[in-house]
A and B are shown apart, each in its own frame.
Chain A
Amino acid sequence: MAPAAGLALLAATTPASAQQAGAIGTLDRIIRDRKIRVTAEVTSPPFGILGRDGQLDGSEIAVGRQLARDLGVEVEFVQVTSPQRIPSLLAGRADIAISSLSITHDRAKTVMFASPHGALSIVIAGPQRTRIASAADMAGKRIGLTRATLEEATVPGIAPPGTNIVYFDDIGATIQAMVSGQVDAAGMSAFAAKSVAERNARAGIETKFTVRTAFYGAAIKPGDYDLLQFVNTWIFLNKQNGTLARIYEEKTGVPLPELPVI
């Protein structure tokens, strides 16, 4: 019964791929429709946030807008939470995922990464009263992590036995848990930790230690080689003209490190 139901659903959900067989490529389709759909997180400072005026803001949002501008099309942002970044792309709800997706082996098995256009480091952060100097100090403490992020993939590996890891569905909830004291510390990007520390001076949030650093890049659905090639070329050009560096430094406050090429 499951295979039959699966086949029926397969038939119902592949009109797009049926078109792709020998038909229009993704890049051409985007140009023809004058619209590119880009994933956007809204609770991930400084990559994707909701500005004071309710507009999308952040470094990855700015990158998405610039890409659309250089492509000569409109950008449509598809709001997602961390666990939905790649599934949205694979399900065809977005053409490209530009949401600080760190390049990892596991993700590379299911999406195609463009050359990185930024770097981040994952840290454990928490209020001053939580005493954590290194991974070993996490034992016996509640550590908050966001599902489907680099911290979720790396922190459990370095956490000693006795660490109580607590998972949330989006970065905003994890931050909220840390600020309200529901967790003793949380894993997040160094930028997010800095942003939270600045906005919640009373909570006294500080970075405890760095877990790892990573480069992040745009993710593209497997098979969309034409779009991948354009994005890689675009990254090359915008590295040369300093646009990527400008956006990065403006939103993160840190100079863009040397970016390797895939």
Chain B
Amino acid sequence: MTYVFQFGIVWDHWPRLLGGAWLTLQMSGAALAIGLVLSVLLAFGRRDGPRWVRLLIGGYVEVIRNTPFLVQLFILYFSLPGLGLRLDAAEAALIGMALNFAGYGCEIVRSGMDAVPQGQVEAARALGLSPMRCFRLVVIPQAVRIAWPALASQAVLLMLGSSLISAISVEELTAVTNSLQSTTFRAFEFYFVATAMYLAMALALRLLLDALHWLLFVRGRPAERRE
């Protein structure tokens, strides 16, 4: 008995799929924003903070990077209520994604900062710039430029990883796809279309981040300094 493809059924439910994709983008965008800020703060703390802060952040990074993201989400959503803190599904998902991103982002930003030649920092201080201004005007711009490709990859991973928040009942693209395929029994059609939608979103995100990189670091610069 051969399988008859029926993509028309997918089209019937297109608005729901679009709605799910929109929620994916919203959650990912918000988590990325929070995660980036957190990454920079954690990176700073891990490089220049007192010993106990460095140890604490180091421990946090190791826990995040060595445990499954899904388990992290389950702890936030299912286990915390037992300790008295009940988070909404969306809250737990947002916090989970941001914390997870920051675990990786911290290391990426930190290595970007490490890659800025120490001579630059010394020169800046010698010129009278305060540590704060030195960090803000000399270190961060160069560190971000160096860390950009890795951060962009991590951002795309964040967006793709957002499919896991369907397991804690957030109705994003994967959740909607699962529901639709289970009621229409058109698993192949729906998963195929969902894959195509994720691919499109990931490529669009890539393009956006590359354009941003060009705007921030390439446009208007002399030819020999372009990376």
Contact = CB atoms under 8 A, between A and B. Distances in A.
B178 A169 contact: yes
Given A87-B181, A147-B182, A148-B182, A166 B1 contact: no
Contacts of A110: 185
A233 interface: no
Interface string A149-187: 000110000000000001111000100110011100000
Interface stretch (B61-69, B75-83, B126-134): B75-83
Interface residues of B, number: 26
A205 B183 CA distance: 29
A169 B2 contact: no
A204 to B, nearest CB: 15
Contacts of B3: 10, 13-14, 17
Contacts of B188: 9
A182 B77 contact: yes
A182 B185 contact: no
A258 B171 CA distance: 40
A223 B178 contact: no
A87 B187 contact: yes
B175 interface: yes
Contact of A169 (B77, B167, B187): B167
Contacts of A134: none
Q: Tell which of B81, B82, B169, B171 has the most Cβ of chain A within 10 Å.
A: B169
Contact of B2 (A10, A82, A180): A10
Interface of B: 1-3, 5, 7, 77-79, 81-82, 86, 89, 166-169, 171, 175, 178-179, 181-183, 185, 187-188
A97 to B, nearest CB: 12
A36 interface: no
A14 B2 contact: yes
B171 A167 contact: yes
Contact of B81 (A91, A182, A223): A182
Given A86-B185, A106-B183, A167 B175 contact: yes
Contacts of A152: 183
A83 interface: yes
A91 B187 CA distance: 9
A182 B86 contact: yes
A20 B1 contact: yes
Nearest to B1: A223
B169 A222 contact: no
Interface in A49-85: 82-83
A90 B185 contact: yes
A261 interface: no
B1 A148 contact: no
Contacts of B7: 2, 6
Nearest first, the 4 A-B pairs at minimum CB distance are A148-B182, A83-B182, A87-B187, A223-B1
A221 B1 CA distance: 10
A164 to B, nearest CB: 10
A168 B2 contact: no
Contacts of A109: 185
A82 B1 CA distance: 24
Nearest to B174: A169
Nearest to A106: B183
B165 to A, nearest CB: 11
17 contacts: A2-B7, A10-B2, A10-B5, A106-B183, A144-B169, A147-B178, A148-B179, A166-B89, A167-B171, A169-B166, A173-B78, A176-B78, A177-B78, A180-B77, A180-B78, A181-B81, A182-B169
